[in-house]
Every structure is written in C-alpha cells, then in structure tokens.
C-alpha cells in the first residue's frame, strides 16, 4: 500500500492557515494528521459543504488497514483493531491486544463469580501504568439456551467488563444476547453453517460478530464477504488457534491475514484478529496443569506478537498472564516517543534537611526501577529526575543528553538547596565520569552511587553521613 505523506493530506486541506485547529498552519496540521496525533475533525473549515468532497477523500485516505471495532459500552468498552501498519516500526500500533478470561455455563456460580473477581482485580504497576485484563468470555459448554442465559445474566450483573458470548448454536447465542441486551457483547461466532442466523442476531442486537473458519482462509474470506453483503460491518476474524502440530499453520494464518490487509489492501481481511490460547486445555487430559498453563502462556505470547487483537485465556495465574501483559505493553508503546517521565524533584517517604539527594535520568524504566528500589527499602530521600529526553543514564552520558551542565541546571531549578543543609549529591554509578565536572559547576560534593539501583539501600547504609 502507498505510504501516506503530509503532502497527500495537505493537498485536500483548505490551505487558509487560519489556525483554528491549534496548529500554526495547514502543513503543520497535515504532519500531525499523518502521524495520527490529530484527527481531521479538528479542522473546522473542512466541515463546511465547500469541502465535503475533500473531507470524504481524506476519510478514505486515512482509513486504517484494519478496522477499529468497539466491544462493550461505557468507560470499560474496548477498542480493538484500528491498525495502520503491519510492523510496529513502520509507525506505531494502536489499541493493545484485549485479553479476555473465560467462564462457562457449567461452572458453579461461586466459581464464575470468583473468576470475574480475579479478572477484575488482577493488575500490575509497570513503568507508571496499570496493566489490567479487559474482558470476560462466557462460553456455552452445555449448549443449553436457558443455562447460557442464566450464566450470561449473572456475569453481566457482576461485571462492567465487556463480554464475548461464545457458542456456535444461534439459539444459545440469542438467549445470551437477550440476557445481556444492553452490554453490546461480541458475538462469537459465525461459521459456514450458522452465518445467516448469527448475522441477523448481530444486526438485531447491534453487536460485533466474530467469524470462525479454522485453518481455512478462503472460507474465512468468503464468510466475511457474505456478512458485509448482509450489512454486518463490525467483524472480527478467528482463523483458528491450534496448538501442537497446528501451531505453524496457526501463526502463518495470522500473519497472512494481516499481511493481506496491511500490504495488499485486502479489505475482506481488514478486521481485528482473535486468538484463543485456551484451546491448549481442550486436549490436555493426563498432562500436568502447570505444563498446560505454560503452553497457554507461550501460545498467547506468540499470538500477541503475531497480530492478535483479542486473546481468550483460561488460566488466571499471575505467572501466565503478567509476562504477556508486559509483552503487550512493550509492543504497544509508541516507538516514536521515548518512554519518559516528567523531570523535576521527587520526594520519597518524609525526607528532611539531612536526607540524601540523588539524581537519575527521566527514562521511564530507569525512573520507576530506581523509585521502586527506594520505596521498597522505605528510604526518606530526594530524587532529582534530570531531563535526558527519555534516554537511560549510560546512553544519555554517551550521547551528551546527560551532561554536568544539565545536572547543575536541574539542581538549581529544583530548589533543593533550601530543603537540605548538606551539599552532597549521589550520582548514578553509570554517570561516574561526570563527577568532577558536576562538583566544579555546582560546588556540591559528589558521591558516586551504585551502578544498579537495587544497591542504593546498602550504599546509603555504608556511605551516607551528612557531616
């Protein structure tokens, strides 16, 4: 597909440089639009009838290769898809893979409630963000509409997380949809045998619909074409997740679909993908539970990397989910923007005039690692976060993003001189080569701290004296 340039967008803008969009001119706005940092709706003149055709063309030009689909309602609704590129380095990925945990209509009520609670409560602070799970998948293992309706109603009453209603039986799906009619769940799934009925259900209840055609991309594509002809627009694709001998085909299918959408402009494959790592449990009799969980975890990791927009998982153990939540976060951070925190003076505990003063870089991972080491050791201290443009200490020193001048300036601006009576600055071991220059510029005594922040408590115990 042709790469979009700011000139392509600029050519269709009003070109009056009126500044209503908040940018200094139309070209600056076009650059932001191409980088997906501004939407064309911000250009008010474009909404006039004079520019109706240009607006239409811009909308088409900016349409993502993979459609964005919303599941659920309210603040917990998840957006999936909306991908513009196949590879993250080509721009950035948007809408992180949503992770759903399953319950079934044959599980006892207390187990269902417990699994919902665990799903909602599992969270983890990582580089200043809370990592969480996103959805509940309600599966009909009974194939009984009444049972499914009862379970779906109970789930909907106990969570605001978006739901996936799973059955291949339209009667069961309809019972679930009636029980959660206002929740806008994802209907899973249309197959070659039921697609006409499930399409009607998706339209009647205004819900997105998943299409399932295991290891048969031709059939998947035909089903999508039929659904589109029947006015179902919010579609998700499940080409099947088969562990073991089917793993290679599974990963290839995911990659082929995304390649067709992003590189060849194949609109029938331009929809979000669903991976189901919980399939490892279907044929697991006689295998130790830990092994099955481990298989589920690595299958999920492979599918996150291979473009999955939704995953349905069974295990609720932290050790299977957390590594994947971190992997997801790493992949979905914007590679164009260094992961940085706000520079400035931070306090830990209740520091006083004798407390240690340290500094670090404003690379998010560095900052949160240092902060967590100080916090967990319950140290009262000041930490000066120096603006290194989001680069880690050693690289920032090498690239002159962290210099003695910058440290001196940050120290002065922070107002720390009026908060402590000593003049001792602990610098990261990886910035040791700046020590003499910092001393000359600041007139503070420099103590070279540890290279690894986990050694800070030991370092302070041995070396920190204010007199």
Dist. CA 98–CA 137, nearest whole Å: 11
**Residue closer to ligand SF4 (CB basis): 15 or 436:** 15
Nearest approach, Cβ of 464 to ligand SF4 (angstroms)?
55
Dist. CA 374–CA 371, nearest whole Å: 5
**Residue closer to ligand SF4 (CB basis): 35 or 369:** 35
Peptide bond into 98 cis (omega under 30): no
Dist. CA 54–CA 62, nearest whole Å: 12
**Residue closer to ligand SF4 (CB basis): 14 or 429:** 14
**Residue closer to ligand SF4 (CB basis): 62 or 302:** 62
Q: What are the C-alpha distances in Å from 190 to residues 144, 231, 362, 412?
A: 18, 14, 49, 64
**Residue closer to ligand SF4 (CB basis): 20 or 409:** 20
Nearest approach, Cβ of 84 to ligand SF4 (angstroms)?
21
Please select the residue that binds ligand SF4; options are 13, 156, 371, 427, rule is CB under 6 A: 13
Contact pattern from residue 434 through residue 453 relative to ligand SF4, giving x for each residue in contact according to CB under 6 A and a dash for the rest? --------------------
**Residue closer to ligand SF4 (CB basis): 17 or 181:** 17
Q: Contact between 323 and ligand SF4 (CB under 6 A)?
A: no
Please select the residue that binds ligand SF4; options are 1, 18, 111, 291, rule is CB under 6 A: 18
Nearest approach, Cβ of 32 to ligand SF4 (angstroms)?
9
Stretch that binds ligand SF4, among 22-30, 140-148, 175-183, 210-218 (CB under 6 A): 22-30
Please select the residue that binds ligand SF4; options are 16, 47, 330, 372, rule is CB under 6 A: 16
Stretch that binds ligand SF4, among 41-49, 56-64, 137-145, 453-461 (CB under 6 A): 41-49
Q: Contact between 1 and ligand SF4 (CB under 6 A)?
A: no
Contact pattern from residue 105 through residue 144 relative to ligand SF4, giving x for each residue in contact according to CB under 6 A and a dash for the rest? ----------------------------------------
**Residue closer to ligand SF4 (CB basis): 23 or 238:** 23
Please select the residue that binds ligand SF4; options are 11, 14, 214, 429, rule is CB under 6 A: 14
Nearest approach, Cβ of 110 to ligand SF4 (angstroms)?
57
Tell me the two tokens of residue 267: 């609109």
Phi, psi (degrees; rounded to nearest 5) at 3:
-75, 140
**Residue closer to ligand SF4 (CB basis): 17 or 435:** 17
Q: Contact between 43 and ligand SF4 (CB under 6 A)?
A: yes
Stretch that binds ligand SF4, among 19-27, 167-175, 195-203, 423-431 (CB under 6 A): 19-27
Please select the residue that binds ligand SF4; options are 9, 12, 29, 275, rule is CB under 6 A: 29
- Kindly state the number of chain residues that form the binding site for ligand SF4, as judged by CB under 6 A: 15
Please select the residue that binds ligand SF4; options are 45, 214, 338, 351, rule is CB under 6 A: 45
**Residue closer to ligand SF4 (CB basis): 62 or 322:** 62
Please select the residue that binds ligand SF4; options are 17, 169, 226, 435, rule is CB under 6 A: 17
Residues 6 or more apart in contact with residue 102 via CB below 8 angstroms: 136, 137, 138, 139, 166, 278, 312, 313, 314
Q: Contact between 20 and ligand SF4 (CB under 6 A)?
A: yes
Quick one: 441 exposed, middle or buried, by C-beta within 10 A (0-12, 13-18, 19+)? Answer: middle
Q: Contact between 34 and ligand SF4 (CB under 6 A)?
A: no
**Residue closer to ligand SF4 (CB basis): 13 or 135:** 13
Q: Contact between 37 and ligand SF4 (CB under 6 A)?
A: no
Q: Contact between 21 and ligand SF4 (CB under 6 A)?
A: yes
| Residue 50 burial (CB count, 10 A) | 11
Q: Where does this chain bind ligand SF4 (CB under 6 A)?
A: 13-14, 16-21, 23, 25-26, 29, 43-45
């Amino acid at each position: 597909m042709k790469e979009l340039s700011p000139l392509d967008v600029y050519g269709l803008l009003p070109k009056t440089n009126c500044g209503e969009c908040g940018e200094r001119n139309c070209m600056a706005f076009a650059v932001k639009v191409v980088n997906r940092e501004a939407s064309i709706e911000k250009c008010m003149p474009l909404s006039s009838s004079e520019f109706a055709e240009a607006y239409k063309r811009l909308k088409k030009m900016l349409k993502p290769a993979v459609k964005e689909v919303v599941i659920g309602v309210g603040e917990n609704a998840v957006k999936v898809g909306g991908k513009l590129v196949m590879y993250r380095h080509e721009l950035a990925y948007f809408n992180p893979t949503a992770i759903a945990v399953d319950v079934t209509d044959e599980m006892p009520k207390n187990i269902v409630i417990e699994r919902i609670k665990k799903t909602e409560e599992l969270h983890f602070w990582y580089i200043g963000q809370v990592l969480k799970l996103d959805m509940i998948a309600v599966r009909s293992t009974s194939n009984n509409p009444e049972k499914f309706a009862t379970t779906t109603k109970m789930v909907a009453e106990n969570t605001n997380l978006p739901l996936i209603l799973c059955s291949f039986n339209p009667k069961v799906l309809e019972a679930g949809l009636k029980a959660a009619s206002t929740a806008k769940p994802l209907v899973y799934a249309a197959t070659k045998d039921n697609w006409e009925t499930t399409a009607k259900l998706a339209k009647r209840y205004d819900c997105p619909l998943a299409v399932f055609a295991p290891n048969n991309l031709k059939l998947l594509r035909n089903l999508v074409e039929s659904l589109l002809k029947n006015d179902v627009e919010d579609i998700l694709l499940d080409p099947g997740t088969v562990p073991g001998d089917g793993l290679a085909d599974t990963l290839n299918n995911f990659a082929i679909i995304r390649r067709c959408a992003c590189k060849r402009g194949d609109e029938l494959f331009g929809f979000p993908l669903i991976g189901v790592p919980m399939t490892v449990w279907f044929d697991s009799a006689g295998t130790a539970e830990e092994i099955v969980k481990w298989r589920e975890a690595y299958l999920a990791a492979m599918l996150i990397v291979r473009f999955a927009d939704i995953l349905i998982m069974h295990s609720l153990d932290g050790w299977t989910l957390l590594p994947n939540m971190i992997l997801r976060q790493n992949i979905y951070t914007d590679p164009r923007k260094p992961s940085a925190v706000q520079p400035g003076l931070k306090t830990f505990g209740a520091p006083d005039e004798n407390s240690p003063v340290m500094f670090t870089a404003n690379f998010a991972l560095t900052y949160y690692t240092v902060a967590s080491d100080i916090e967990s050791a319950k140290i009262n201290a000041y930490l000066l976060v120096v603006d290194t443009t989001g680069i880690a200490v050693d690289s920032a020193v090498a690239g002159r993003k962290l210099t003695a001048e910058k440290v001196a300036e940050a120290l002065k601006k922070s107002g720390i001189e009026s908060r402590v009576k000593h003049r001792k600055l602990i610098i990261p071991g990886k910035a040791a080569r700046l020590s003499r220059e910092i001393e000359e510029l600041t007139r503070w005594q420099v103590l070279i701290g540890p290279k690894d922040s986990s050694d800070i408590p030991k370092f302070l115990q041995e070396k920190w004296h204010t007199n």
